[in-house]
Structure 1
């Protein structure tokens, strides 16, 4: 027995010595003081899960860590190295509490992003609640206090939303009619309009009769003038049933990209700065601005006026406008019996400048002349190099052609619709008939 007790004391001393040696060898692990008291408190579900994970991690660390009894200051064995490599590696072995806290913070930071994704947005259910509550109480303050929307809107947001709903209902009838007149034409409407012949020269009564015969096909805000304007556009773009689109040229006439690239001179593409040229350009710019001011002061003397097209139906003719040459961008009002068409330059002033409509570098400076005869007929004479197409028929240089109402005039890819003031022309013909017998 004495020998057994002596051997146990020697083993305890050796274990104590090994513990001291291991603590001195590690050195980085300070001795931690902890209290034996334990304060119990309720834990939430996420803390229960995290605490169980922390306990399992501490058990793994305790099982895979280096035991102080086996550490004698020498390197661990191969089996111990494998156990250490399998355990989660940390630079400093702190207490397992911070790791769950970090994951908890990350989860809390992600949750508000999903919750606040749709905040501040009005939903259809909110609009319905707002309308019903205002119609019931007629008080926005009580609506803001009593109605529970999908989001917490402020009183100002509720007022702005209600004012936006009321603004649409309080629009002026003319504004509503203007908005409705811009409605797109459906396929059924365009099919009915395309049946009207391009050479029939329809009047407002024709389109009014079309509205009466097909009330279900046309939009409720359509008028005879709107149908006539859209029919003219369809005629201009060859969309009627009796019209055919002209095929594109084939063969050597088509210029491909390589041929156009060969024609470009690389020396002209270099941007060389010339101070003398810049000075001349500034002087020319000043001169042009001075001429523009003079022309603006003489606008009342011009025989042809230009108006921009807003997409609405064209206004009625006044007592001074004989005819209108209408394009896609501008509208030329003919107020004299003879006007000239072409491309205006510094040395050449004409009545109708076709460059305001689009690219007009292929048009002659004096392309043609439109005249009104005493009998009330309009004629156009071609005086330029390129032909003028009237309803698809070419009018060569030196020739003339009679213009009728709704005739399509095409000059170098620029298309116009010629509209005649029928009332004023009727008065002119009546006066001419009175004068002729005398």
Structure 2
């Protein structure tokens, strides 16, 4: 299934991490051309992709978007990207198609994605380029080396220097050598052939095959059972190791809902493409990455998403002091679930289950600890736009 059959225009994403001014201009012009009066069926498909992209805020990371763009550029086939690209989490083919449509035709999602890709470290970008699927032109050049030869990395470095217009910028001679070895292992080089029976060679009939199977069964019964015992013990050890790893990962899931960063002299970027809001204190900042988080004090018996004891003395704070929730219309609400009052912009929230609306740069004070609540305006604007469309 080629890109032309799916209605995808071919685009070059190799310069996404090279020149920010060139990227912004090309991205804006290309996006304007693609969204200019699409057909009715394409508009419906774009609307569905936009709705799904808004709901999947936080799942797609900048590394996934860059890998998707490079994979489509190399293969022009989303099915090959689905089978050959390893993303940060498991995506279905339909989810990959919807994300690709959203990046192409949704200006808001495209702006957020390109901005997040620009913030990636150069080492991360180089690693993603090295793991990108090889295109057909690249493999044709690599296949020119026969399987009977003993090539070296220097030979592939020379090949890379002669064909810089074909290979990706971050390809190395070692990367080409590893791919050639993989092609040779799977007998995919042109001079390799698979052995098959000749027309004049006598083929094994059913009775001969049955006799050979019986001989193999008899030989296997004679062998001792020590190998089976060793294999069984290895399976038990491997199963225990896997279960222990699964339990460890399950225990780490709540930690990823709110990430905690120490505030240093260098001012880092508060938001990325999957951070909804930030609760910034004097010593630490809490990154809100889910639609609902709990505030309080962690103990042996109970845990909360935002442990306020990391900021300062929290002995007077309840174990479950408050709850911040993102409403469908894009508003953040802070509910008081503890005994002590919470002050939002010097206005108290007294009593259990009372709540107040949080705005950008709102000051939240709990038992002497003060925090500034910062909102990711791009993501919340997308959420509010989707809520208005649903109401209409």
- The alignment's TM-score, normalised by the length of structure 1, stands at 0.32
Structure number with greater Rg is: 1
Larger relative contact order (C-alpha < 8 A, sep ≥ 6)? 2
TM-score for the superposition, normalised by structure 2: 0.35
